[in-house]
Amino acid sequence: MIWSLCLLFVAGAVHTSPIRKTSKTEYKVAPQEEVNVLMFGVLQFGESLNYAYETTEAKIARISRSLKNTERTLQKLGKQTEQAAEVEKQIKEVIQLLQAQMAQQHAQTTKTKEWLTSLEKEEQQLRTKVNRLEMYLSNSVPPSIKELQERAEEHDKVLRGLQLLTELQKEDIESQNEQLAKLQKMSEVLT
């Protein structure tokens, strides 16, 4: 529409006619060229306003899209933050469980060590008794040598059984110490 008006004025389709003289004042008519220049300026101003309106509208649309994208990003970040908080909570729970297991393993290891120490003492006492018995047998003639040999064999079997139990307990303690070390490493990694 603006271009069609511009073409009309440029082509000279619109002519100005002189204004009639009135009684007291005379009016001068502006020359056609000045009117054309003035109309062309008005048309250019209208086009500039239209361009400013269109570009402002496009900028507002871009800003609106950018705001929507920013809002979506903020929502995603909010969800990720919630998920991270949940993961952190789960990690803390796992750490607490690991620490409880470590404390339990430590207590069990301590008890096993104490029991093993008492077994070793009993084993030593039995060895001492067997040695004394052997010395007694070698120094004196008992009423029944066969009976004493049977007792010595029984004591020997008991000693061997205790030695086997002691070895098994030592292996168990070593295994528990390894598990405890692994749990401590896992706890250190998680914290």
With a CB cutoff of 8 Å and minimum separation 6, the contacts of 179 are: 105
The pTM assigned to this predicted structure is 0.42
Residue 19 lies in a domain: no
Question: Which structural domain range is residue 169 located in?
Answer: 2-6+32-190
Q: Which of 89, 83, 2 is nearest to 39 (CA)?
A: 2
Structural domains in the chain (count): 1
Which residues are CB-contacts of 122 (< 8 A; sequence separation ≥ 6)?
162
pLDDT tens string for the chain (191 positions)? Answer: 444 444 444 444 444 444 444 555 556 776 888 888 889 999 999 999 999 899 999 899 999 999 999 999 999 999 999 999 999 999 899 889 888 888 888 888 888 888 888 888 888 888 898 888 878 777 765 557 777 788 888 888 888 888 888 888 888 888 888 888 888 888 777 76
25 located within any domain:
no
Is 14 inside a domain boundary?
A: no
